[in-house]
Every structure is written in structure tokens, then in C-alpha cells.
Amino acid sequence: MKKIFLFLFLPIVLCAQQYADVVFTNAKIWTVDKQKPEAEAVAVYDGKIIGVGSSKEMKAFIGKHTKVLDMKKKRMLPGFIDNHTHFMSGGFQLQNVDLRYAKDERKFAEIIKKRAQERPGKWITGGDWDHDLWKSAKLPTKELIDTVTGNTPVFVNRYDGHMALVNSYVLKLAGITKDTPNPPGGTIVKDPVTGEPTGILKDEAMSPIYQFIPDPTDDEMLNAARLALAEARKYGLTSIQDMAHNYGVRDINTYSELNRRGELTARMYCRTFITNWKSLAYAGVQAGFGDEMITLGSLKAFADGSLGSSTALFSEKFLNEDTYGLPMDVLVDGRLEQWATSADSARLQLCIHAIGDSANGLILDMYERIAKKNKNWDRRFRIEHAQHIHPQDFKRFARLGVIASVQPYHAIDDGRWAEKRIGNERCKTTYAFRTFLDNGVTVCFGTDWTVAPLNPMLGIYAAVTRRTTDGANPDGWFPEQKISVKEAIQCYTLNNAYATFEENKKGSITVGKFADFVVLDQDILTIDPVQIENVKVAYTILGGKIVYEK
């Protein structure tokens, strides 16, 4: 009998080698990935990382069409992420009047005079002035600029964004007189002798002015965004967490249009005001909604003002003024909690601005009530700035899982004068990065641009050295709050990715994540930390493509 052999043919899967589009080799890579913290080379395909290891190991990913780029032993890190910017404002500020480094009242007036002569009758905005740089340290007044501006409207903000100076023309335009009462959540500063407005408007007192400032055209919006993106590329930023509330949805539409044109060179995580929560919820938007380039689902609100404007809300009074600060009216009347509770139930992320210790404590209280009332979800509450913390509240941040979204450059800037405002004892837990980390709090870093420069090197320098900008603290202002360079890098990368639900997509040089990198001209892990502020970006790489080269 003839034997019949039946052969079962099984499909054979051939695991062909995936060759990379580009391999970055011969680098000193700090990956911010605990599983493989150091490497020499990284392979990229279709904008994602497909290999991380030694230069020899990455040769396996080099095919006929692979581009190989020699990094010449330069330090490579994950692309920087900024946790808090006013990005469109930054783009417009690059075109507006710049008063940030006006060293005295005379220079302040000269700059405004020059702009008024160049564009008579056109609104003068921007500013970012800092009266604490002046010998007098006195707030400017309308008299300083009235004679050089005439009928040219002026609205120039202090660098923290919580007060502005207007001229008499604008006061008249808005109908603000000695008899105008302070609005809820705001202050119209008045001369103690005459009772007349000085021209300084704080927080909500600024709001009536905005209706008179013409909205930019679509082309002006696009141009401002392009300028801001160029600034970001120069500083190694591949992702921006934007306040996106300056012109509402127009900011987001501008980014979308640039993305359509292939001009968007940073991934945008966009926030809108908490008052918009219902529109987002009805549209089905939740935290993390979007694509690889533009993400929505995060909301911003204010609890108080700022330290420099004496409007941050404290549990004790300011030393130089008879005030505890200025709570926002929506915090006092309960509307903030109503909106926040509803928004959280719709799975929208809450990011609340709080500066003073009382404001931070009140927001922690609110977050705790919301978490108990609503269904549990991966909500990742944030407090934006988290500057001045009551000692008892660090553990509450950790217990509630609240992210401290801080901007370290403020420490070396405000550190010049903070003790004059609130005293030595409260400053011990001001910009308390070390205490946050030691208590297990997730800390993420950014700049608050244009309040501070967009450059992450200055933020890392500030967190690591705490050397104030006036040179008065060479060993660090409250040096016990210093952190390490590696910790600062993680706060600027992986922790920021976690703060936007994207830790599995970016923030470390890990297989499967976006190929977003920054290459530096000096090695910040080996140089003297005091030199970090001088380090420049050699390359900014987004999705494996070089978008900036020094």
C-alpha cells in the first residue's frame, strides 16, 4: 500500500529588518528612561523611535536609504516641553514694545515715546515692565507717559501680567474716573491725595480695556505664531503647553492652519478658559483629545493674582501693604468650584493658577471635594505656579496627586525682592522644588513666557543654582531648595509629558515614542552648573527631522 504523506503548509512570517529613516549616532544621550538611561545612538522611522543603544547596535537599523547623522559626542536629551506659556502673546510681544529691561523711569518713557512717534494713534501694547528694577521701585503712573503719547492709546502690562499701566487717553476711553469703584477681583490704583486714578490697573480692573483694543487679523495671528515657533525652535522646545486663551478658539485655529501648511514645529497642548467647559463637553472633548500635533481638553482658571502686584492671596498680610492679596471673584462667590466640578465630571483637566499660600490651600481643598464628589478617573489635577506653599500642604499635593506646574526662573527673578514683600519665613517654602520632590509630588517645569524668557536652559539653571538675577545670592537663594540637573531635565521632559497624559508618547528617548530631541553645544551633565545659563541649542529635532540648527 502506497503511503500518502500530507504536508500542512503553515504561513511563514519573515521578520524583515526595519531600516530607519535616520540614525543619530555618536552622541552622549541622556534618555530620561530608567530602563536605559544612557545611550550613544537612536534610530528613527516615520517620526518614531525604533531603536536606542550604542552606535554599534544601531548599525543594524542602517539601510541603503538611511540617513546617518554624526552628533560628534554632543549631549542629546528628549525635546524640551514647556508646561505653561502664553504662546500667541509671546509672538505678538516680539513685535510689540518691550519694556522688560527698562532700568529706570526715564528709559521706560523713552521707549514708549519712540513707539508713539513711529505709530501715532495705534495702540501701544506689550510691555513686560518691572518697576523693581528701578532705584525708586515705585509703580509708574500715567503722568510718566501722558506728555509723550497724547491721543495714542497705551496699555502696557507688568511682566507678571497682573497689572498694567494705561495713559489718560485710555482712562477717558474706558470711562474710569476717581469715582469708579474697584471691580470684583480687581483694583484701580488711585492717588492717596487726589483720589485720581494713577493709570495702574490690577487684575480684573484691566478687563474693561480689552474691548477697545482691536483684534488682530488672521494674517497677523499667523505671523505671531510663526515668530513664537521660531523662538521655540531656537531653544529646543518640541512641545508647548499653551494657555491658548488670548483670542479664544482663534489661537487653536491658527495652530491648526499652520499644521495644515506643514509649518507647525511644536506639538501644542491647548487650554481654554474654564468658562468654556460646557462647549468642550458637548462636543465630546475630554482630556487628551486630538492628534499628534494639537491636543485639547484642559481648562485654565485663576484663584488669585501675583506676588509682584501684591495680589497673590496669603494667609498673612504682605509686609509692605495692608492687604492679604486679592482673591478672584469667582473663587469667593463659588462659581469656580461649580464650573470645576462640572468640568471634572466631563473628564476635562483642571489647571488652576494659584500663587499665594492661601490660594494654593483653597484650591487643594476644592480639588479634594471634587475628587470625593465625582467618579474616579485619571484626572491629573494641576496647580499652575504653586509658588508659595504652606508647610502643611506639600503632603496634601502628594496625597491628592496634584501636579505642581512651576516655572523655576521666577525663583531667581522674584528672589531679588520677595523677602521685602512676605518676609524670610514664608520664603523658605517659596519655589520649593526640593521639598516638592522629597514629598513625592510630580513637578513639571516651564517658563510662563512672556513673564519669563522661553529658554529652558535658564529654567534648569535657576532650579539647580537658585542664583538670583541681581547677583546677590551666588550660593543660591534658599539653597536648600536646589535640585540636581538630572531632576531638572526630567521636570522639563518626562514629567511634563505626564502632566498632559502623554508620558507614553514623549518625554523620554524610548522605543515607540515620538523622535523629539534636543542637542546641546555643551554637556549640562558635566559642566559647572553656573555655566548652564550660557548653553545653546545645536539642534532641535521634531519627529526625527531637524527643525533648527545653530
Residue 13: pLDDT over 50: no
Residue 463: pLDDT over 90: yes
| pLDDT of res. 5 | 41
The region of weakest confidence among 66-80, 246-260, 438-452 is: 246-260
Residue 8: pLDDT over 50: no
With a pLDDT cut of 70, the percent of the chain lying above it is 96
- Mean pLDDT on 179-206: 95
CA distance 439 to 27: 34
The region of weakest confidence among 36-50, 89-103, 355-369, 399-413 is: 89-103
Per domain, the residue ranges of the chain are: 82-86+216-549, 92-210
Q: Please provide the DSSP assignment of 133-177 as one string.
A: GSSS-PPP-THHHHHHHTTS-BEEEETTSSEEEE-HHHHHHHT--
pLDDT band at 226 (very low <50, low <70, confident <90, very high): very high
202, burial (CB in 10 Å: exposed 0-12, middle 13-18, buried 19+): buried
pLDDT band at 138 (very low <50, low <70, confident <90, very high): very high
Residue with more model confidence, 185 or 43: 43
**Among candidates 395, 376, 358, 380, which has minimal Cα distance to 502?**
380
* Multiple choice CATH, 92-210, 3.40.1010.10, 3.10.310.70, 3.90.1150.10, 3.20.20.70: 3.10.310.70
- Mean pLDDT on 301-324: 95
pLDDT band at 47 (very low <50, low <70, confident <90, very high): very high
φ/ψ bin of 446: left (φ > 0), alpha (ψ from -120 to 50), beta (otherwise): beta
| pLDDT of res. 2 | 43
Residue 14: pLDDT over 70: no
CA distance 500 to 462: 24
| pLDDT of res. 159 | 86
| pLDDT of res. 128 | 87
- Mean pLDDT on 381-406: 98
| pLDDT of res. 246 | 60
Terminal-residue alpha carbon distance, the chain: 81
CB atoms within 10 A of CB 453: 17
- Mean pLDDT on 229-255: 90
| pLDDT of res. 243 | 85
Same fold? 82-86+216-549, 92-210: no
| pLDDT of res. 27 | 98
Q: Please provide the DSSP assignment of 317-373 as one string.
A: --SSSS------HHHHSSHHHHHHHHHHHTT-EEEEEE-SHHHHHHHHHHHHHHHHH
* Multiple choice CATH, 82-86+216-549, 3.20.20.140, 3.40.50.1980, 2.120.10.90, 3.40.1190.20: 3.20.20.140
**Among candidates 256, 292, 294, 251, which has minimal Cα distance to 273?**
251
Tens digits of residue pLDDT in 482-535? 999 999 999 999 999 999 999 999 999 999 999 999 999 999 999 999 999 999
